[in-house]
Amino acid sequence: MDVLLLSRLQFAFTIMFHYLFPPLTIGLGIVLVFLEGRYLWTKEIIYEQAARFWTKIFGLNFALGVATGIVMEFEFGTNWAAYSRYVGDVFGSALAAEGIFAFFLESGFLGLLLFGWDRVGPKMHFFATLMVAIGGIFSSVWITIANSWQQTPVGHEIRDYVVNGKVYQRAEIVDFWAMVFNPSTMDRLIHVWLGAFILGAFFVMSISAWYLLKGRHLEFAKRSFTGGLLLATVSSLAQLLSGHSNARMVSEYQPAKLAAMEGIYETENSTGLYILGWPDDESETVKYGIEVPGMLSFLVHDDFKTPVPGFDQLEETWGRPPVWITFQAYHLMIGIGMTFIGSTLLACWLWWRGTLFDQRWLLWYFVFAVILAFVANEAGWVAAEVGRQPWIVYPSLVNGELTGGLRTSAGLSEAVRAEQVLGSIIFFGLIYFLLFVLWVTLLHQKISHGPEIDEVDENDEYPSMKKAFE
């Protein structure tokens, strides 16, 4: 058993499970602010009832997000001690900032959000909701900054330390704001936020579509669905622009990652864009590939004829990431994103015509599309993190020479053993399986119970809609 591979699998498993919850709470936080703001503005009780319901769902996801995030803090110390020593100065400042500016804000007002409905006035409760939502966004800011610095590190110096006769290197900050606004921070931050908004919107649309299909809570479901639809449509279209900007940034600072994302083994005069395919490292080709000729050259260079470098020019300098995983995760994310753009625009058109809620097939699609939103967020993480291999902290190219950087194999703890890591993977697998069952069970209970809304009055107000779903 390879301790490096097992440690990478363990971290991937724990962070991918954890990453089910933070984007969802960020997206739902925006939904809560919108609903309570609408209630204060219009005084329509339906918005308050909707906010109370979605707050219960938010609280459940927030609790699981915090619980599953703690595990990774320990993994940094047990499995990745050499990496923690190298990035400790950078990560320490970013995580401290998250604790001061985000977590305290988020957790300080969480109790008021969850239990303050009948204890404080609507304006005070709205303020608490706003602070929790901003705290969640601030938290994503500092985590993304720390991760972005690993992808495009600047604002630091590499210094040597001698401990027991052995020389260790450590990255220390010399320009804090350069570290914060490193070349990939803003592109990656916007991409993460939009992914969270899309997930939150599709989550709301999924449950709302279910109520519409079952003829329950119709006014609540209709308003929740249309609000989620607007957020999903705007965010999906904006994500297309964000993805394009990200790809250009990656082409400049992590060219080997872009080569893996697009399966570019050999540099050609004009580089095409694959819609799908099957990269094969042995033959160094993309089998069964469907390609748009010259399109990648155009997207990166605004020119159909300027080549995008492949591994024949890059591998000796940057190394080669696992191509198949990076390629498929990247294209899965893009494919789902394009599906979201098409389906939300179609739903908006049907909504404008007044026939959206008569389309049972489309409502069934939105019931299950939330799974695609989870998959797209996870696939984006896989493409970004697997694509930076074999580096855990990317090096910089200065005057044709690589400087700094830390290979993943060099970040591993010296004392950890493969059997220990394997045992912890099995243990985490069992615990996380139980947590997942608990999450689904509690979610099912809350959705089955639904919002506290008078069914009789509601159905009298929308008799035609009720009839349409019978």
Q: What is the pLDDT of residue 456?
A: 44
Give a yes or no: residue 354 inside a domain.
yes
- Host H or E run for residue 113: helix 104-115
| Residue 26, pLDDT above cutoff 80 | yes
Q: What is the pLDDT of residue 140?
A: 87
| Interval 157-200: pLDDT, tens | 888 888 777 888 888 889 989 999 999 999 999 999 999 999 99
- Across 118-201, the runs of DSSP E, i.e. the strands, are 156-163, 166-173
Q: How far apart are alpha carbons 199 and 193 in whole angstroms? A: 10
Q: Which long-range contacts (CB under 8 A, 24 or more apart) does 95-98 make?
A: 95/142, 95/146, 97/142, 98/138, 98/139, 98/141, 98/142, 98/143
Q: Please tell me whether residue 289 adopts helix, strand or coil conformation.
A: strand
Query: Which residue's entry shows tokens 């984006």?
Result: 380
Tokens matching residue 363: 């409502």
CA distances to 261, 294, 301, 343 from 271, in Å: 13, 5, 11, 30
| Residue 203, pLDDT above cutoff 60 | yes
Give a yes or no: residue 276 inside a domain.
no
Average pLDDT over residues 53-62: 89
Give a yes or no: residue 299 inside a domain.
no
Q: How far apart are alpha carbons 406 and 386 in whole angstroms? A: 15
Residue 95: which region, alpha, beta or left (left: phi > 0; alpha: psi -120 to 50)? alpha
Give a yes or no: residue 384 inside a domain.
yes
Q: What is the pLDDT of residue 450?
A: 82
Give a yes or no: residue 456 inside a domain.
no
**Single-letter amino acid code for the residue at 371:** I
| Interval 360-379: pLDDT, tens | 999 999 999 999 999 999 99
CA pseudo-torsion sign 410, 413, 414, 420: negative
**Interior CA angle at 42 toward 39 and 46, to 5°?**
50
Q: Please tell me whether residue 364 adopts helix, strand or coil conformation.
A: helix
Q: Please tell me whether residue 406 adopts helix, strand or coil conformation.
A: strand
Average pLDDT over residues 320-328: 94
Q: What is the pLDDT of residue 453?
A: 66
Q: What is the pLDDT of residue 112?
A: 87
| Residue 464, pLDDT above cutoff 60 | no
DSSP 409: G
Give a yes or no: residue 94 inside a domain.
yes
Q: How far apart are alpha carbons 137 and 142 in whole angstroms? A: 9
**The whole model's pTM is what?**
0.89
CA distances to 166, 240, 401, 403, 406 from 169, in Å: 10, 39, 18, 13, 10
Least confident of 46-55, 104-113, 253-262, 461-470: 461-470
Least confident of 163-172, 422-431, 434-443: 163-172
Q: How far apart are alpha carbons 23 and 87 in whole angstroms? A: 25
Partners of 287 in the beta sheet? 278
Q: What is the pLDDT of residue 396?
A: 82
Give a yes or no: residue 300 inside a domain.
no
Residue numbers of the domain that contains 169 = 3-267+309-449
Mean pLDDT (the chain) is: 88
3-state helix, strand, coil in the chain (%, to 5): 70, 10, 20
Average pLDDT over residues 131-140: 88
Tally of domains within the chain: 1
DSSP 268: -
Closest CA to 252 of 300, 203, 304: 300
Give a yes or no: residue 29 inside a domain.
yes
| Residue 42, pLDDT above cutoff 90 | no
